[in-house]
Amino acid sequence: MLESDTHRAGHGFDKRDIEIFMNLEIILVLAALVVMLAALVADKQRPGMILFSVVVFFLCCRIISPRELLEGFSNKGMITVALLFLVSEGVRQSGALSQLIKKILPQGRTAVWKAQLRMLPAIGFISAFLNNTPVVVIFAPIIKRWARSIGLPATKFLIPLSYVTILGGLCTLIGTSTNLVVHGMMIEAGYEGLSMFELAWVGVPITVAGIVYIMFVSKRMLPDERRGPEIVEDEEEKQENLHPVEVVLGPRFPGINKTLRDFDFKRHYGAEVKEIKRGGQAITKRIDKTRLYEGDTLVVLADDSFVDTWGESSVFLMIANGKDAVPQPKRGKRAFVLTLLILMILGATIGELPITQEMFPNIKLDMFFFAAVTTVIMAWTNTFPARKYTKFISWDILITIACAFAISKAMTNSGLADLIANFIIGLSNDHGPYVLLAILYIITNIITELITNNAAAALAFPLALSLATQLGVDPMPFFIVICIAASAGFTTPIGYQTNLIVQGIGNYKFTDFVRVGLPLNIIVFLISIFLIPQIWPFEF
């Protein structure tokens, strides 16, 4: 960060010089953010590397200090996200989720809305306490297989699955990494942060309304199943026990932006690509000349060892071969893992109570504490393979979050946040905080649909703080709006990773998400703008 105004003045800078420096900082930060957004939309690099490059640029320009760059990497919220990746992996490997969804799904003939009535509330509840991605990775192939077995189109359930995991994540502090990012930024800015169930006051009504909407429109607006060409296995393949397997390409897949002619999939993974699913289209002709992109679903012919070898690899978001995604441990282990999860949630909730804080004044019994304890217990009881624990953490998300703190600091240090806040206030023509709350929601939501939810929260947070400061109101309603708007990515498949996963396995088109997701976005927006000021008033 550049020296303070007083320090500059002491070295011969007058007021005009200081204004020139401040204006230059604003221009540099604004230009860097525009380039960052363009690079994220164009998918030139992984989001973490793009944000880190921008942060290093700010460091070189002395807009932030080395300490401010590194603060995000030691932030409690960011580290809590990392720990929750491991907790979610422990729950996944226990087999508890796959057993639960099988018990929830109705057996025998049923209507779409009846099946959704049983599924969606339960999935929303689960996603309030677990990372959304493993929930969708486990549930999607099971739901697809179940739907076909009872003669219902899987397309009526997969987008609802993704949407309800997003909705459930709005209800608790740990429901999504976005909430923890905002929580961490609040603490860094000197505020108390969010309690475990504070977001439930707005999250639960939004989730209920969202589920009702999904059940109402699924049959009419979601497409019937689009079947691709059947993969015919010849005699030689049958003798070699080859069978179709669906894989969803993740960001770490080494063949991203390459053709199959340039990237030999069979040499790398021992399987032959027969079909590429993308945007509701099934590509089977001239497949070797087709470029591969993140989120593509490949249908490959592979033997039984393929899933065992690559099932836990981070290069694939999901692998489905018509069988259970994880082995089924004994019932005792499932009960042990669920007990750990419940104790973690209860511990973090009770730890927030004033009486608990008085009893244990020298230790902060928050979510970070209990997530850390739970992770260590899971590791030493081999709930997840402890020697491979680094594989289960999405490092790009963590780097994105850590850099987001530094970008937020650069916007504040340069004065860009205040400048944009002044501009927004001017546009609203003094209509008051309600209009500004709506504008902040729309800005945050557009950014999250185009890039990533955590980056959207980072860009919006300094704006929220500056808006509240200039209006002289409590910033809490603005912070809550960021949590909701940055997670409500329903309109595009790229807005949220779970959307990207179900797009391929459900063979959805881009327009399917727009048609169903845009009205849901509007519903969430209206409920948020109405409820949030009622629960968290603008007045101090």
Q: Let me know whether 250 and 288 are in one domain.
A: yes
According to the model, what pLDDT value does residue 5 have? Answer: 43
Q: Let me know whether 248 and 176 are in one domain.
A: no
- Is residue 448 within 8 Å of residue 487, measured between CB atoms? yes
Tell me whether residue 17 is in a domain: no
According to the model, what pLDDT value does residue 227 have? Answer: 66
> How far, rounded to the nearest angstrom, does the alpha carbon of residue 437 sit from its chain's CA centroid?
23
Q: Let me know whether 245 and 343 are in one domain.
A: no
Alpha carbons 369 and 42: distance in angstroms, whole number? 38
Q: Which of the listed residues 263, 293, 320 is the one where a domain comes to its end?
A: 320
Q: Let me know whether 122 and 138 are in one domain.
A: yes
Tell me whether residue 11 is in a domain: no
- Is residue 483 within 8 Å of residue 199, measured between CB atoms? yes
Q: Let me know whether 198 and 294 are in one domain.
A: no
Tell me whether residue 14 is in a domain: no
Alpha carbons 488 and 474: distance in angstroms, whole number? 23
Q: Let me know whether 92 and 191 are in one domain.
A: yes
Tell me whether residue 12 is in a domain: no
Tell me whether residue 459 is in a domain: yes
Alpha carbons 534 and 376: distance in angstroms, whole number? 40
Q: Let me know whether 519 and 416 are in one domain.
A: yes
Alpha carbons 275 and 56: distance in angstroms, whole number? 41
Q: Let me know whether 338 and 215 are in one domain.
A: yes
Overall number of domains in the chain: 3
According to the model, what pLDDT value does residue 422 have? Answer: 85
- Whole-prediction pTM value? 0.85
Amino acid at 197: F
Q: Let me know whether 308 and 446 are in one domain.
A: no
Q: Let me know whether 404 and 388 are in one domain.
A: no
According to the model, what pLDDT value does residue 209 have? Answer: 97
Residues 6+ away with beta carbon under 8 Å from 222: 155, 156, 159, 160, 512, 516
Q: Which of the listed residues 392, 410, 441 is the one where a domain comes to its end?
A: 392
Buried b / exposed e over 116-133, threshold 16 CB at 10 Å, is: beebbbbbbebbbbbbbb
Q: Let me know whether 359 and 280 are in one domain.
A: no
Q: Which domain holds residue 251?
A: 235-320
Tell me whether residue 414 is in a domain: yes
The CATH code of the domain that includes 269 is: 3.30.70.1450
- Is residue 318 within 8 Å of residue 498, measured between CB atoms? no
> Can you state the angle between helices 177-188 and 395-414, rounded to 10 degrees?
40
Alpha carbons 94 and 383: distance in angstroms, whole number? 7
Q: Which of the listed residues 320, 346, 361 is the one where a domain comes to its end?
A: 320
pLDDT tens series, the chain, 540 aa: 444 344 444 444 455 555 555 688 899 999 999 998 888 877 778 888 999 999 999 999 999 999 999 998 988 888 999 999 999 889 888 888 888 888 888 887 888 999 999 999 999 999 999 888 888 988 998 899 899 888 899 999 999 999 999 999 999 999 998 999 999 999 988 898 899 999 999 999 999 999 999 999 988 899 887 666 555 555 555 556 788 888 988 888 888 888 988 988 888 888 899 899 887 788 888 888 888 988 888 999 888 788 878 877 778 888 887 665 555 666 788 889 999 999 999 998 998 888 888 888 888 888 899 999 999 999 999 988 888 888 888 888 899 889 988 999 999 998 888 888 888 888 766 677 889 999 999 999 998 888 778 888 988 999 999 999 988 899 999 999 999 999 998 998 877 888 888 988 888 988 999 999 999 999 999 999 999 999 999 987
Tell me whether residue 9 is in a domain: no
Q: Let me know whether 348 and 404 are in one domain.
A: no
According to the model, what pLDDT value does residue 94 have? Answer: 87
According to the model, what pLDDT value does residue 15 have? Answer: 56
